[in-house]
């Protein structure tokens, strides 16, 4: 018995269930045409093995890991490769808060910080799986609440709901107590060898090159 185009039911049995086709997009590259699988999301994990300057560095107080042994195995175990990709990267930017990862899912960016406990890895993938199953973005579960924050400025759309309170980033400070104003790295003025007194305050730098750039044109690096 034919039940629908090309689908044949076994005699007396239920029609076989069809898997939804994997969505693809046609792209041209180097004069050839390819079909690329369209994903629901991707996780970018900052790793020492890919050139991070802090994440994964035990000597800097971060959880060391071999990407495949921790994140990779958990991702493979979930069998979500065709829906959600995993990539290992170098520095994502907010080194002071590392270990860091950036999740893109259903069009939303979710920043994860302080991933310094191996138990967080399955919890991150549980969160991913819950959003894949729901087909929508969900607020972070309790276990990840302290690890999610909004790094990007909210998009100009009234529907945007932040996942985390903006922890008084604008509490009367421009952040330069701990921020190199040139490269925006976290720098502790108590320990850095590169600092100056400028307009009645101490400004710290991560390296002499940043200090030199600042001194050449301080106003270019100070908030308006």
- Residue 190 CA to residue 112 CA, distance in Å, equals 27
- Residue 115 CA to residue 102 CA, distance in Å, equals 11
The DSSP bridge partners found for residue 34 are 27
Least distance (Å) from ligand FES to the CB of residue 90? 7
Least distance (Å) from ligand FES to the CB of residue 14? 51
Which is closer to ligand FES, CB of 78 or CB of 151?
151
Which is closer to ligand FES, CB of 80 or CB of 206?
206
Single out the residue of 203, 206, 208 nearest to residue 218, CA to CA. Answer: 203
Least distance (Å) from ligand FES to the CB of residue 104? 16
Which is closer to ligand FES, CB of 138 or CB of 184?
184
Cβ atoms within 10 Å, residue 149: 19
For Cα atoms 103, 117, 132, give the angle at the middle one, nearest 5 degrees: 30
- 198 vs 70, 99, 192, 202, 214, CA distance in Å? 45, 32, 16, 6, 11
The contacts of residue 110 (CB under 8 Å, 6+ apart) are 102, 103, 104, 137, 140, 148, 163
Least distance (Å) from ligand FES to the CB of residue 97? 8
Query: In this structure, which long-range contacts are made by residues 25-32, counting pairs with CB atoms below 8 Å and at least 24 apart in sequence?
Result: none
Least distance (Å) from ligand FES to the CB of residue 101? 9
Q: How many CA atoms lie within 13 A of 21 on its CB side?
A: 3
Which is closer to ligand FES, CB of 80 or CB of 121?
121
Q: Which residues bind ligand FES (CB under 6 A)?
A: 46, 52-55, 91-95, 98, 100
Which is closer to ligand FES, CB of 80 or CB of 101?
101
Which is closer to ligand FES, CB of 80 or CB of 124?
124
Least distance (Å) from ligand FES to the CB of residue 196? 24
Least distance (Å) from ligand FES to the CB of residue 98? 4
Which is closer to ligand FES, CB of 83 or CB of 88?
88
- Residue 51 CA to residue 30 CA, distance in Å, equals 29
């Amino acid at each position: 018995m034919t039940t629908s185009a090309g689908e044949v039911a076994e005699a007396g049995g239920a029609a076989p269930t069809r898997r939804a086709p994997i969505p693809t997009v046609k792209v041209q590259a180097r004069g050839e045409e390819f079909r690329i699988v369209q994903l629901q999301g991707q996780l970018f994990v900052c790793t020492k093995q890919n050139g991070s300057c802090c994440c994964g560095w035990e000597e800097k107080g971060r959880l060391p890991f071999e990407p495949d042994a921790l994140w990779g195995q958990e991702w493979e175990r979930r069998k979500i490769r065709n829906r959600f990709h995993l990539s290992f990267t170098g520095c994502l930017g907010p080194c002071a808060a590392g270990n860091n990862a950036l999740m893109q899912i259903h069009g939303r960016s979710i920043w994860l910080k302080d991933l310094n406990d191996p138990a967080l890895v399955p919890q991150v993938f549980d969160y991913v799986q819950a959003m894949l199953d729901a087909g929508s973005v969900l607020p972070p579960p309790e276990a990840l609440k302290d690890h999610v924050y909004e790094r990007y400025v909210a998009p100009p759309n009234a529907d945007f709901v932040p996942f985390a309170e903006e922890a008084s980033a604008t509490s009367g400070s421009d952040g330069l107590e701990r921020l190199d104003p040139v490269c925006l790295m976290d720098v502790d003025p108590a320990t850095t060898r590169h600092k100056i007194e400028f307009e009645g305050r101490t400004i710290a730098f991560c390296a002499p090159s940043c200090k030199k750039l600042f001194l050449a044109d301080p106003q270019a690096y100070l908030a308006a």
